Amino acid sequence: MDADPNGRKWRWGVWHDADRLWHATLGQRNARLLPPRQPTGERGGSSEIPHVIHQIWLGPHPIPVDCLAWMQTWKRLHPAWEYKAFDTATNFGEKSDILRYEILEKYGGVYADVDVACVQAFDPLLKAFSFIAGMANTGNVEISNSVMLSTAHHAILRQLIDTIHRDFHQPRLDTSALVLIAQMSGDATLSAALSITPTSSAMDTIARTGPGLLTRTFMAAIGWSTEEGGGREAGADGFLSPAAERERAIALPIEYFSPLPNRIRHAAAADFAMIKLPVNCMAVHYWARSWM
């Protein structure tokens, strides 16, 4: 295991046994595709991600004060954009994951969790790519669904939705990856729960509908087998077609949307104020895990 930028031991094999290769591939793609630039004939279509922000709050409790402040940052930095808040469902995490995919698939735009603050306007990203997510700052190879941008009807979103609807009829997951994630998070409550019960609904959500599923789906989109033991076959294209469309899907490095590690969720507000953010940071995930 290698050390990540936050001094943790890097964990491999969490969402797939080939994730060392995934990590290298994503780094190479980002070196080629960044910084964002306007699409050309070589890079494909000119369809633009809509200027609309979607946020979701589910459950019986009021939105936490911190989250309300973070939500306002999206409006303040995008005053001319449409803003939509969804709060009508009643079933927390899994429904939050499903809703964000279905809303983006239908309307397109930007989705952000309520515990994510915006620090730069997102306009430069809208024409450069058709699907955008960011790497999670979790000490493993994981693509976060806390911030996503997409054109409407994107193939990655359709695949996510189809997989969720199909897999909800299947048995629940093996707990090995879930236990690993709980240990990595530094959350004693989650670790204790997993040591007592076969599955935790919170961790199961991460694997079945959240970042675990998004990570595997994104890698399949760009040509990797997500079967255990599977790698990238010579000439494999993934389900995004044509090739130019694959170049318009990106998982941004952690400094763009997730400069803070997931271990900071219990830090005091004063500690956050002292953090110097990277110059290319556009949003900050504060890891409030507000749906739990």
For residue 204, give both structure tokens: 């199961």
Q: For the domain that residue 220 is a member of, what is the CATH number?
A: 3.90.550
The sign of the CA dihedral 60, 81, 68, 283 is positive
The pTM assigned to this predicted structure is 0.79
Distance CA 53, CA 107 (A): 10
Considering the domain boundaries, does residue 179 fall inside one?
Answer: no
Beta-ladder partners of 117: 284
How many structural domains are present in the chain? 1
**145 phi and psi, to 5 degrees?**
-105, 20
With respect to residue 125, please indicate whether it lies within any of the assigned structural domains.
yes
pLDDT of residue 273: 62
Residue type, 55: Q
Q: Does residue 176 fall inside a structural domain? A: no
Give first-to-last CA distance, the chain, whole Å: 30
Q: Which amino acid is at 160?
A: L
- Domain with 273, as residue range(s), is 19-168+205-285
SS (H, E, C) the chain: CCECCCCCECECCCCCCCHHHHHHHHHHHHHHHCCCCCCCCCCCCCCCCCCEEEEECCCCCCCCHHHHHHHHHHHHHCCCCEEEEECCCCCHHHHHHHHHHHHHHHHCEEEECCCEEECCCCHHHCCCCCEEEEECCCCECCEEEEEEEECCCCHHHHHHHHHHHHHCCCCCCCCHHHHHHHHHHCCHHHHHHHHHCCCCHHHHHHHHCCHHHHHHHHHHHCCCCCCCCCCCCCCCCCCCCCHHHHCCEEEECHHHHCCCCHHHHHCCHHHHHCCCCCCCCCEEECCCCCCC
User: From first to last of its 292 residues, what are the pLDDT tens digits of the chain?
Assistant: 344 555 678 899 888 888 999 999 999 999 999 998 766 544 444 579 999 999 988 767 888 999 999 999 999 999 999 999 887 554 444 465 678 898 899 999 999 999 999 999 999 999 999 999 999 999 999 999 999 999 999 999 999 999 888 876 544 434 344 344 344 434 444 344 434 343 445 445 444 567 889 999 999 999 987 776 555 544 467 889 888 889 999 999 999 999 999 877 655 554 556 678 999 999 999 988 654 4
Residue at 8 is within a domain: no
Q: Which residues contact 5 (CB under 8 A, 6 or more apart)?
A: 254
Q: Is residue 236 in some structural domain?
A: yes
pLDDT at residue 198 in the model: 36
- Structure confidence at residue 68 (pLDDT): 94
Number of neighbouring beta carbons within 10 Å of residue 6: 15
- Give the bridge partners for 144, in sequence order: 134
Is position 290 within any domain? no
Asked if residue 213 belongs to a domain, the reply is yes
Decide if 173 is inside a domain.
no
Which has the closest alpha carbon to 202: 131, 124, 290? 290
Encoded amino acid at 5, one letter = P
